[in-house]
Amino acid sequence: MLQQRKKANSDCYNIGTLKRTLKYIKDRLVDLSNEAEYEKISSYFEKAELKLREQIKEMPLGHKFTGTFYLKKPYSIEPVSIKVIGSAFIKEDLVSWQIETDDESIHSQGYHRAVYKDKAMTVKLEREDGEAVFLSLH
């Protein structure tokens, strides 16, 4: 999904470059054909860009798991689990989870590579365990 998002963003950028180039040489193009032809080409690029932007909105930014999960206590020799009630978010392009909880000691630790489903810390939380999070423009 990340590659598709990057490709769509790249295509949007390239269409924007084409639109700026068309605008720059508008007078020359109108002289060679007519204003209606120019407007037709311009509206085609505008529609293509809008479709790409819609596709980008439909792609998830990441995944969010809400509920109870466990973290490994930092700087402990023996693995000790810490029970967390809150949410964990992982972006599409990252491999670490960001924890959102009321507990400041856990919240201040930043990103976590491993988040577990069970207290014994044998089953890791996967992206697919959470709900997809999409870009919301309000």
Q: With 80 as the cut, is the pLDDT of residue 15 above it?
A: yes
Which of the residue ranges 12-16, 88-92, 102-106 would you say has the lowest mean pLDDT? 102-106
Return the half-sphere exposure (C-beta side, CA atoms, 13 A cut-off) of residue 55. 17
Question: How far apart are alpha carbons 1 and 107 in whole angstroms?
Answer: 28
Could you tell me the residue ranges of all domains in the chain? 2-58, 61-126
* Count of Cβ atoms closer than 10 Å to residue 41 Cβ: 14
Each residue of 23-44: pLDDT tens digit? 999 999 999 989 999 999 999 9
User: Average pLDDT for residues 59-86, to the nearest whole number?
Assistant: 89
pTM above 0.75, yes or no: no
Question: How far apart are alpha carbons 94 and 88 in whole angstroms?
Answer: 13
